[in-house]
Amino acid sequence: MMKSPENGKENEQMKVEDIISHVDHTLLKAAASWEEIRKLCDEAVKYHTASVCVPSSYVKKIRENYPRLTICTVVGFPLGNGNSESKAEETIHALDDGADEIDMVINIGAVKNKNYDLVTEEIAVLKEIAGDKILKVIVETCYLTEEEKIRLCECVTKGGADYIKTSTGFGTAGASLADIALFRKHIGKNVKIKAAGGIRTREDMEAFLTAGADRIGASGAVRAFYARTFSL
């Protein structure tokens, strides 16, 4: 997966760039200011991350100031237990403001009630709204049994989503390599995987990409990687 130039130091740099290209550079904390969001976007442009992942209230302003930047935003975040209609409206407004990708949180209560049809239908409705834009489905693995995770792989696949995503980063735990392996075994062939939550080091990111994740959700990837690279 990683490029391998002959020079060892150059190889190191290329590997960093490749990993960063899979990162959704993320800032979703409640008190995020425009100054912090702008810094996030500047870093994303400079280091060529896959996207920025931000609160929906900032999408329009980012689009006006960074017209070429890929913008990801969240819907039903972080709990996912609002009604489907509100998630649909959030999605419509986010896309109208200029979002390119939507990360939605499933209704975990519906999972615990074994109402998988509701989960699938909600995903399908949001994907219909998103159209050719990317829809990622956050299942919040820390609250799920293995059986529930497998069933949710089916829901995400049947609902037509583009990605299954491990975590919000606001739950009791984040991504695990075991969950990536489980997802790979049970998701449909057109569904990709985003790992998020607690992924902070270069070693972590390489491990998740090697395990089968296509995207990494992380808030400190750029600083961690490039601080280390520039010291080589």
Residues contacting 196, CB < 8 A, separation 6+: 24, 26, 138, 165, 166, 167, 168, 169, 174, 175, 216, 217, 218
Read off the pLDDT of residues 166-222 as tens digits, 9 standing for 90 and up: 999 999 999 999 999 999 999 999 999 999 999 988 889 999 999 999 999 999 888
Report the pLDDT value the prediction gives residue 227, as an integer from 0 to 100.
65
Report the pLDDT value the prediction gives residue 15, as an integer from 0 to 100.
82
Given 97, 165, 179, 204, which residue is catalytic? 165
Exposure string for 198-225, b = 16+ CB within 10 A, e = fewer: ebeebebbbebbebbbebbbbbebbebb
Which residues of the chain, if any, have pLDDT below 50?
Answer: 1-14, 228-232
Given 15, 127, 149, 194, which residue is catalytic? 194
Report the pLDDT value the prediction gives residue 222, as an integer from 0 to 100.
87
Verify whether residue 136 is a known catalytic residue.
no
| Pairing outcome for strands 23-26 and 192-196 | unpaired
Rounded Cα gap, residues 68 and 224, in angstroms? 25
Report the pLDDT value the prediction gives residue 159, as an integer from 0 to 100.
98
Rounded Cα gap, residues 167 and 194, in angstroms? 9
Q: pTM of the predicted model, to two decimals? A: 0.91
Given 103, 162, 179, 204, which residue is catalytic? 103
| All structural domains of the chain | 16-223 (3.20.20.70)
Report the pLDDT value the prediction gives residue 112, as an integer from 0 to 100.
98
Tell me: cis bond preceding 78? Omega within 30 of 0 counts.
Answer: yes
Question: Strand, helix or coil at 151?
Answer: helix
Verify whether residue 3 is a known catalytic residue.
no
Task: Give the CB-side neighbour count of residue 156, counting CA atoms within 13 A.
Answer: 33
Rounded Cα gap, residues 232 and 129, in angstroms? 46
Integer distance in angstroms from the first to the last C-alpha of the chain?
23
Report the pLDDT value the prediction gives residue 103, as an integer from 0 to 100.
98
Verify whether residue 204 is a known catalytic residue.
no
Report the pLDDT value the prediction gives residue 157, as an integer from 0 to 100.
98
Rounded Cα gap, residues 144 and 216, in angstroms? 20
Report the pLDDT value the prediction gives residue 13, as an integer from 0 to 100.
37
